Amino acid sequence: MPSEKTDPRPGPDSPGNRPDSVPNPLSERPPELTTGEVVGRMAREYLKPHWRLAVSALLASVIVAGATGVLPLLIKHALDNIVGSDAWMLMLVAAGAIAATGVQAIATYVSKVNMSTIGMRIVATIQERMFGRIMHADLAWVGGTHSGRFISSLLNDASRVRDSITTSVIDLGQNLLTVIALIGAMFYLNWQLALMGSAVIPFIAILVRQLGRRSRKAARRGMEGSGNLVAVISEALSGIRVVKAYDQEETEIRRTSRAVYEVMEQGLRAMRSRSMASPVTGTLSGIGIAAVIYFGGRSVQTGFLTIGDLGGFLSAMMLAYEPLKKLANTQTLMQEGVAAAIRIFPILDITPTIASPADAKTLKVTDGAIRFENVHFHYGDGTPALNGVSIDVPKGHTVALVGPSGAGKSTILNLVPRFYDPTSGRVTVDGQDIREVTLGSLRAASSLVTQEPFLFDDTIRANIAYGSPEASDAEIEAAARNAAAHEFIAALPKGYDTTVGEAGFKLSGGQRQRIAIARAMLKNAAILLLDEATSALDTASELQVQNALSKLMQGRTTLVIAHRLSTIKHAHNIYVIDDGRVVEQGNHDALVAQGGLYAELSRSQFIEEPTAGSVASAKTPQAAVAGE
């Protein structure tokens, strides 16, 4: 642990610090489960499929325990025969010792390999299921939890469970059986001494239980700390531009240091509890052994016991010493695994509310017409967002949503692919309630182009073909041409095989947009959901993106969030949204003439009158964005 002088941790009120931990709804409600409940669930759900391996590991453990239990009896016979000087018998006993240790070695190997295999398979299954749950979970739930918490659970917590299964379960089974076998041997040799020698075991059990509790608590806090550490690191890395631009490297380093030292503190605490288990067991066992040496020795001196009885008995106690210590360690390690499993269960148990209903039909897209019928919506945290919205987007029409920031435009768009469900009212596509059709068919019916398009760290080809894996190279290229992206792609040294870097880092904003548009072109869905974003682009890029967008919109039913009114002057219909309500509706000219909110927004954006006809006709890079 660092000394006070060298401790690099900053004080709690260092200036300019953001909170150390990130919001995490998962950690707010960890279920209080007993060890039995956790182990029971793991066994039922995850161990059952591997029962053959588990049974063979258990049998191997029984063999190990049996072979160990035989050793003290062999030692007794050996000692008695030294006194009786029977050489033949001695040889037989020696051969028996070789056989017992040989069997013990093979069985140990079998049980270790089998349990490790089970542990690794179980963890692979858990990781697979966890990721599946996260992918299918409601967007609201995933968005409300920091990604660092998920990453940490998928990697750290899952590997703790594995260690717990592979180490604790093997040690628990094998050592418990071995201790039982050796206690059996002790009772066989002399029950009075056996009672005396095993009197310490209940005390060991009580102390070890206490240590297990402490270690579980420290492990839980350590894992929460690890989740937080992953979160602060990933935040600092994804926001590296902002960090550098605001000269906040040191702040981020301090913030991460605090998270690092918190994990270290909890790790030390868990380690101390773990390390205390052996000495506690050792000291108490030593008292037991001392008592047996004294009273057993007196019994030999008075002729109640043979030297062989005492030798065999003492060797049984000595042999029990190691597995007993391991058992104590196992308890603390197992508690760490239990703490990890308790963190994993809420992720495994999440059931999405937004899913295809049992009797869902496939969405039949004829026109791609969308209707919002008296839709109300509030977010999970109670934030009201929509208040009786009715919108009609007929076949092939372009309908624009305009309004101040926070009015509810993105929320409306997000209801179409069912990222969220309305609190009341309904959304239909070609007359079918979107909650009654399969999610797959609904999402296949629309393409979404967002303000900040996301690209995967893969080739441009793979990024365009995302969602259309069967597309041919010619189709990908055609989509890129339509999206005005082919030229810049072809000019790159590796063309379509250029990797774009994390989140498209190596491309400009306009290039990323056009690749996203190409992706939507290739998907060729009847409905287009567009969170139009051209304000961040320079005039040349903006024109290219606008051209690509107008091509994409051709023949599709389009619901577009317009940030620049110049781009939607020719939309068939414009809905002006304010405070979750539709406050005005009509085409550009009618709305301007109405002299309401739209006219006001329109004036504030200082639109240079464009030449009529095209959504790409705006000439000036107005900085104003709707409502900003």
Residues that bind ligand ATP (CB under 6 A): 143, 379, 381, 383, 385, 403, 405-411, 627
Strand order in the sheet with 424-429: 384-393, 370-378, 424-429, 432-433
Q: Which is closer to ligand ATP, CB of 138 or CB of 477?
A: 138
Whichever of 291 and 625 has its CB closer to ligand ATP, that residue is 625
For ligand ATP, the closer of residues 360 and 625 by Cβ is: 625
Question: CB of residue 564 vs ligand ATP: minimum separation in angstroms?
Answer: 12
**Which residue is listed with tokens 């926001």?**
239
* Least distance in angstroms from the C-beta of 230 to ligand ATP: 22
Q: How would DSSP label each residue in 490-507? A: HHSTTGGG-B--GGGTTS
Q: Which is nearer to ligand ATP, 15 or 382 (CB)?
A: 382
Closer of 165 and 562 to ligand ATP (Cβ):
562
Query: CB of 601: closest distance to ligand ATP in angstroms?
Result: 12
At 571 the three-state DSSP class reads coil
Angle formed by the axes of helices 307-348 and 35-42, to 10°?
Answer: 80
Structure tokens at 245: 């631009």
Closer residue to ligand ATP in complex, CB, 10/352 = 352
Shortest gap between Cβ of 403 and ligand ATP (angstroms)? Answer: 6
Our CB check for ligand ATP shows the closer of 22 and 489 to be 22
- The H or E element that residue 8 is part of is none
Per the DSSP assignment, residues forming a β-bridge with 399 are 559, 573
Q: Pick the closest to residue 276 from 193, 225, 358, 218 (CA basis).
A: 218
Cβ at position 563, least distance to ligand ATP in Å? 7
Buried b (16+ CB within 10 A) or exposed e, 64-86: bbbbbbbbbbbbbbbbbbeeeee
Cα dihedral 135→524→555→390 (10° resolution): -10
Name the residue nearer to ligand ATP (CB basis): 243 or 533: 533
In angstroms, what is the minimal distance from the CB of 581 to ligand ATP? Answer: 12
Look up residue 174 and give its amino acid: Q
Q: Which of 398, 406, 388, 410 is nearest to 582 (CA)?
A: 388
In the beta sheet, which residues pair with residue 375? Answer: 389
**Residue 157, CA atoms < 13 Å, CB-side half-sphere:** 32
Residue given tokens 């003290």 in the structure block = 72
Q: How far is the CB of 532 from ligand ATP (least distance, A)?
A: 11
CA dist., res. 438 & res. 134, Å (int): 19
Min. distance of Cβ 410 from ligand ATP in angstroms? Answer: 3
**Cα–Cα distance, 59 to 411 (Å, whole number):** 59
